[in-house]
Structure 1
Amino acid sequence: MNLSQLLAHFKIELKDVYEEEEVKSIFSVSVEHLLMLKRSSLMMNWEKEVSKEEADQFFSIAAGLKTHQPIQYLLGEAYFYGATFKVNEAVLIPRPETEELVDWILAEDLANKTVIDFGTGSGCIAISLKKHGKASAVTAVDISEKALALAAENASRLEAEVDFIHADILNLDIVGQFDIIVSNPPYITGTEMAEMHQNVLAHEPHLALFVPDERPLLFYEAIADFAVGHLKENGRLFFEINEYLSEETIQMLKDKGFVNVSLRKDMQGKPRMILATKD
């Protein structure tokens, strides 16, 4: 079987799940992962034959995609800020808008600064800040032991020195003072679930996604309270936020005494990031 025939198989199997252009893109990602053949080379190699073992791997990916499993989980990796991170269903798949948050933080001079990341998941934020920002110390916190194990594996593989702590954001007893606190905590309400894609609802960890409708800022409030006592003078607090709750999040931070609260939109023009400074 050659690559052209495998693509035809993907198109047939996934016609009810993805648009044809999406199928082509996913197939290209699969080819690069399994055969180390980049998209530019794929265009000249449609007749390339694959072994039975390789073909079976492609068939398995197509079968998983047909049941709405995200391609990142099927391949076991996701690309974030210039690096490949291992992922599984214990962690959220890193998103492009989170890269924008990392960009914003890296605009700060992180040299000799201490950073703590709450709800680290795959470790993508903490590891990227350590590798690219040269922070003196980076700590990453998560309630999921499985997530922490994967994040630690990513840190080791990417040669980033990060301290990992198993803790509940809602019941923190972490000591120390920090220059930067960052978090992309759970923020999706039950009401918003109906708008979400099936591959997210069925496979990504609900622990990292959802909050009660009656307290949508639950985790933001807890982290802000921690920041009041643990941010150094003029320390920075960065959040990725629910686009529908930007005004409420800003007001909450002001009520807790933070100043110079700034809202930033993502590449799609949605209000998705906030920076606040400790007075």
Structure 2
Amino acid sequence: MKKTVYEALNWASSFLRSHGLEEPAGEWLLRHHLKANRAALLASFHDDMSEDVWLAFKADVETLPSGIPVQHIIGSESFYGRVFSVSGDVLIPRPETEELVEAVLERLEGTERIVDIGTGSGAIAITLQLESPGTEVTAIDLSEKALNVAQENAKTLGATVRFKQGDLCQPVKRECFDVIVSNPPYIPERDRASLAEQVREYEPELALFAGDDGLAVYRRLATELLEHVRDGSLIALEIGAGQGNAVKQLFQEQFPKATIEIRFDINEKDRIVLIDVRL
């Protein structure tokens, strides 16, 4: 039985609502299958869908109660106005991380050496390079599979980024940077059970968890970054809500002359720590 675009979307919304899931996921999937932006989708509400497209769309919607993120079905997520490929090997880019990028861009003059530690999909590194083309950007990740995703994103989007595999700063020994940016793992192990299923079961553990208190990677960075900064360097970190003061203290101990700012996100949660290094 043929369905119009409107009928298909209405069915998806009802199905998702009955399973306690977010209804916008239905629209994202429908746009994906119709290869249409939102304006085109709305304009086609009364058009009939082909049987093949309807059945494929219906099958994808019916997988969502399993917990799989819609971005993994679609294979992409938007970030800072660009579409990035994603998979189960990388963290899905979040809107809060766009605010970290914005905080860094505010400070750039356009010729800086930048390193992104724990790059994942490459969203931060690629965005910074494309928004400030004169910069020299390096992106590091421990996961070879994550780097493969990031490199493919850089190629698709036309970004010039140097990729290195290794643990935190290890691949860039004896190198100094003007900007060091990182969205590291920061979820405490004790919070594992309370995470949403689609995060806990489908996103990489390596990008999520960081010891009993979630601060394990920040402790390492606070120590290791001493060898990679110069006077005037900027360290920009995304943090978990409620971690601002603890992360600030860790870096203040290692960089006693630094000016450290905690920024809050659009949801009024502490989300970014900016360290202006003074040696």
Measured against the shorter chain, the TM-score band is over 0.9
* Counterpart for residue 227 of structure 1: 225
CA distance in 1, matches of 2:81, 2:43: 26
Deviation at 1:170, TM superposition (A): 7.6
* 1:204–1:134 distance in 2 versus 1, CA, 3 Å: same
Structure 1 residue 212, shift from structure 2 partner: 1.5
CA drift of 1:164 comes to: 0.5
Aligned to 1:6: 8
Letter of the aligned partner of 1:274 in structure 2? V
Which deviates further from its counterpart, 67-76 or 48-57? 48-57
Q: CA deviation at 1:172?
A: 5.5
Bigger mean CA deviation after superposition, 100-109 or 35-44: 35-44
Contact 1:64 1:74 in 2 (8 A): no
Instruction: Please state if 1:203 is matched with 2:205.
Output: no
Aligned 8 A contact 2:9 2:30 in 1: no
Q: Is the aligned partner of 1:247 residue 2:249?
A: no
Matched with 1:275 is 274
Structure 1 equivalent of residue 215 of structure 2:
217
Partner of 1:28: 27
The residue type equivalent to 2:232 in the other structure is: N
Residues 115, 139 of structure 2: 8 Å contact kept: yes
Does the 8 Å contact 2:174/2:227 carry over to 1?
no
Q: Which residue of 2 aligns with 1:121?
A: 120
Listed as ranges, the gaps of 5+ residues in structure 2 are none
Other-structure match for 1:191: 190
Deviation of 1:5 after TM superposition, in Å, equals: 3.2
Q: Distance in 1 between matches of 2:118 and 2:59?
A: 31
After superposition, give the CA deviation of every residue in 1:102-137 in whole Å (9 maximum; x if it has no partner). 000000124110000011000000000000022431
Following the alignment from structure 1 to structure 2, what is the Cα–Cα distance between the partners of residues 91 and 122? 6
Q: How much is the aligned-residue C-alpha RMSD, in angstroms?
A: 1.8
Q: Check conservation: 1:182, 1:238, Cα contact below 8 A.
A: yes
Provide structure 1 residue ranges, at least 5 long, that are not aligned to the other structure.
Answer: none
Report the count of equivalent residues.
275
SS of the aligned residue for 2:160 comes to coil
Give the residue type in structure 2 aligned to 1:15: R
SS at match of 2:201: helix
Once the two structures are superposed, residues 33-79 of structure 1 have per-residue CA deviations (whole angstroms, 9 ceiling, x without a partner) of 22233333433422322223212320232122121111111100000
Q: 110-119 or 221-230: which moved more? A: 221-230
Separation of aligned partners in 2, 1:226 and 1:172: 12
- 1:110 and 1:35 map into 2 onto residues whose CA distance is 41
